């Protein structure tokens, strides 16, 4: 019986094998045709560049239509609208405590959910954080450094003007104020930010990444292709700071890539971004440490690159290419998660949401406690607390706010490393509450016992009023800035051929 079965199975397998051989033949033939098509694309390039940086993205359209077209789709915000309920959500409206946390810093004016790369310049010009230079004689409130991640005109101008660390070098990129480069910064984040225009090899265009790696004894130029598929993102989606006095842009990576490593770096050089006007705390503002947080999660630890999920492969005709419509991988679960994970899309989506929700629960607590702590610290100072009494409290607030901001500032952190984000937010709550307890004791010493009165900060408007912002005036000026100044920048750039007609 067993032997008969064996014979019968043997013939079936033989027949099956024959069918498979035939299909494989067809596949090889098809593969050959595809290769021929790819080779033909590269041999028939229309544009040949001699410079690594070509700022006008349109110049790449003819030779790389698939990449260009998908890149253009970063203008589309329908996924954001579907996911957030609006293409751009006013986060301060949702979370008025954040206005308190960022009091004294431009982020307290305006902070929205992100849109695609094609909106980068437009969003930067209209955000109230860059001020309204030129309106009613307003001066710049930001240095040119603020443009750094906003497009390939940055490396172009760095090369043109020089980008040394010496702020006194006249005309140096870092020497300028933000509005002085308004008519130069006209091409949004695009090809040359990540590719060498001569070869289209991946090549991050910003110096800070190379410098940080060099200080750590590594060479970005020697990174593998898979590493590069993250590093082109990591040149911007990372924690950075402007050196006091020179506004030179640097990454605080010398002691390592964790939240605590960066804090130790900042503590050592005595750095702070601003002094909080309520608690007088020297605050560190975290700047989207997306790459660092991703390294803390299992995907990063397994060598999954940013592009693997945010720029999945597509196929069109005979050509396989990376989708340049960079966005949430949840928008294309079939081409992102499901490349590795065999669960259905809804399960995978719910897995992400569940992790987000758990982080958000602790985030809500952190913002509530920390906002209260800043306000109570002011109350203590107003009621006679000495500098010596406030110093340990301010140390706690600085630690708390750094961990909160680091945890929430980057895109997708709650997915990239849910446990790490939960840990950081937990420590943020912890330090804020230690501060509140210490403040209560200091106040009691100065004769006040009981609950410190907290203002009504239940809406963005109330919170902004509490910290003394005249929002209607800022908004009105911004409208004039957008109507009067920005069009001149665009016009000038077009006249000089720096911005091509689209």
User: Which residues make up the interface to its own copies (CB under 8 A)?
Assistant: 2, 5-6, 9-10, 13-14, 17-18, 20-21, 24-25, 28-29, 32, 298, 301-302, 343, 351, 355, 358-359, 361-362, 365, 369, 418-420, 422-423, 425-427, 429-430, 433-434, 436-437, 440-441, 444-445, 449-451
We find the least distance from the C-beta atom of residue 246 to its own copies, in angstroms, to be 37
We find the least distance from the C-beta atom of residue 22 to its own copies, in angstroms, to be 9
We find the least distance from the C-beta atom of residue 279 to its own copies, in angstroms, to be 17
We find the least distance from the C-beta atom of residue 433 to its own copies, in angstroms, to be 4
Residue 24 or 495 having the CB closest to its own copies: 24
Rounded to 10 degrees, the C-alpha dihedral 175/179/184/185 comes to 100
Residue 411: Cβ-neighbour burial (10 angstroms; 0-12, 13-18, 19+): middle
Assess contact for 400 and 366: CB atoms under 8 A: yes
We find the least distance from the C-beta atom of residue 410 to its own copies, in angstroms, to be 17
Residue 46 or 342 having the CB closest to its own copies: 342
Residue 92 or 375 having the CB closest to its own copies: 375
We find the least distance from the C-beta atom of residue 32 to its own copies, in angstroms, to be 4
469 φ, ψ to 5°? -90, 135
Residue 129 or 423 having the CB closest to its own copies: 423
Assess contact for 247 and 167: CB atoms under 8 A: yes
Assess contact for 147 and 158: CB atoms under 8 A: no
Strand partners, 202: 195
We find the least distance from the C-beta atom of residue 318 to its own copies, in angstroms, to be 14
Nearest Cα to 276, choosing from 347, 371, 153?
371
**Per residue in 24-44, is it b (16+ CB within 10 Å) or e — as a string?**
eeeeeeeeeeeeeeeeeeeee
Nearest Cα to 156, choosing from 123, 126, 186?
186
Residue 67 or 420 having the CB closest to its own copies: 420
Assess contact for 192 and 52: CB atoms under 8 A: yes
Distance between CA 209 and CA 216 in Å, rounded? 11
Structure tokens of 402? Answer: 């750094």
We find the least distance from the C-beta atom of residue 301 to its own copies, in angstroms, to be 7
We find the least distance from the C-beta atom of residue 412 to its own copies, in angstroms, to be 15
Residue 7 or 225 having the CB closest to its own copies: 7
Residue 70 or 434 having the CB closest to its own copies: 434
Residue 323 or 369 having the CB closest to its own copies: 369
Within a 13 Å sphere around the CA of 122, how many CA atoms are in the beta-carbon half?
8
Nearest Cα to 149, choosing from 111, 189, 183?
189
Residue 482: Cβ-neighbour burial (10 angstroms; 0-12, 13-18, 19+): middle
We find the least distance from the C-beta atom of residue 456 to its own copies, in angstroms, to be 21
Residue/partner pairs of 386-393 with CB below 8 Å, 24 or more apart: 389/442, 389/445, 390/279, 390/280, 390/442, 392/438, 393/279, 393/435, 393/438, 393/439, 393/442
Residue 179 or 400 having the CB closest to its own copies: 400
Residue 360: Cβ-neighbour burial (10 angstroms; 0-12, 13-18, 19+): middle
Residue 414 or 464 having the CB closest to its own copies: 414
């Amino acid at each position: 019986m067993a032997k008969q079965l064996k014979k019968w199975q043997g013939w079936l397998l033989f027949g099956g094998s024959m069918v498979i051989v035939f299909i494989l033949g067809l596949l090889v033939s098809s593969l050959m045709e595809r290769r021929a098509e790819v080779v033909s694309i590269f041999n028939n390039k229309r544009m040949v560049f001699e410079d690594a940086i070509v700022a006008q993205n349109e110049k790449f359209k003819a030779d790389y239509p698939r990449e260009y077209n998908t890149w253009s789709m970063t203008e589309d915000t329908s996924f954001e609208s579907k996911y957030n309920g609006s293409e751009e959500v006013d986060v301060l409206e949702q979370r008025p405590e954040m206005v308190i946390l960022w009091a004294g810093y431009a982020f307290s004016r305006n902070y929205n959910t992100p849109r695609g790369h094609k909106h980068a310049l437009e969003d930067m010009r209209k955000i109230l954080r860059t001020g309204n230079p030129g309106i009613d004689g307003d001066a710049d409130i930001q240095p040119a450094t603020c443009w750094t991640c906003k497009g390939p005109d940055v490396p172009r101008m760095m090369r043109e003007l020089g980008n040394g660390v010496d702020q006194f070098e006249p005309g140096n990129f870092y020497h300028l104020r933000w509005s002085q480069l308004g008519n130069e910064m006209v091409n949004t984040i695009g090809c040359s930010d990540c590719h060498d225009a001569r070869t289209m090899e991946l090549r991050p265009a910003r110096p800070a990444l190379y410098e940080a790696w060099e200080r750590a004894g590594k060479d970005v130029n020697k990174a593998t292709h898979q590493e590069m598929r993250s590093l082109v993102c990591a040149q911007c989606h990372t924690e950075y700071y402007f050196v006091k006095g020179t506004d030179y842009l640097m990454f605080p990576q010398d002691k390592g890539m964790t939240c605590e490593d960066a804090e130790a770096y900042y503590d050592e050089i005595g750095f702070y971004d601003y002094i909080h006007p309520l608690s007088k705390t020297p605050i560190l503002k975290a700047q989207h440490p997306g790459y660092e947080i991703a390294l803390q999660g299992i995907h990063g630890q397994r060598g999954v690159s940013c592009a693997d999920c945010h720029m999945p492969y597509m196929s069109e005709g005979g050509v396989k290419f990376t989708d340049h419509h960079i966005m949430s991988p949840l928008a294309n679960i079939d081409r992102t998660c499901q490349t590795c994970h065999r669960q259905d899309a809804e399960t995978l989506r719910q897995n992400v949401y569940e992790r987000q929700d758990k982080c958000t629960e602790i985030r809500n607590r952190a913002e509530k406690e920390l906002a209260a702590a800043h306000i109570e610290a002011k109350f203590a100072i107003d009621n006679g607390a000495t500098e010596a009494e406030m110093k340990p409290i301010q140390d706690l607030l600085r630690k708390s706010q750094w961990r909160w901001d680091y945890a929430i500032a980057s895109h997708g952190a709650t997915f990239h490393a849910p446990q790490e984000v939960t840990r950081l937010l937990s420590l943020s709550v912890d330090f804020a509450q230690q501060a509140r307890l210490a403040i209560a004791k200091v106040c009691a010493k100065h004769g006040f016992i009981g609950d410190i009165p907290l203002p009504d900060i239940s809406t963005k408007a109330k919170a902004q009023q509490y910290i003394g912002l005249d929002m209607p005036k800022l908004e009105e000026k911004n409208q004039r800035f957008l109507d009067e100044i920005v069009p001149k920048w665009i016009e000038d750039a077009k006249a000089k051929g720096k911005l091509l007609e689209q």
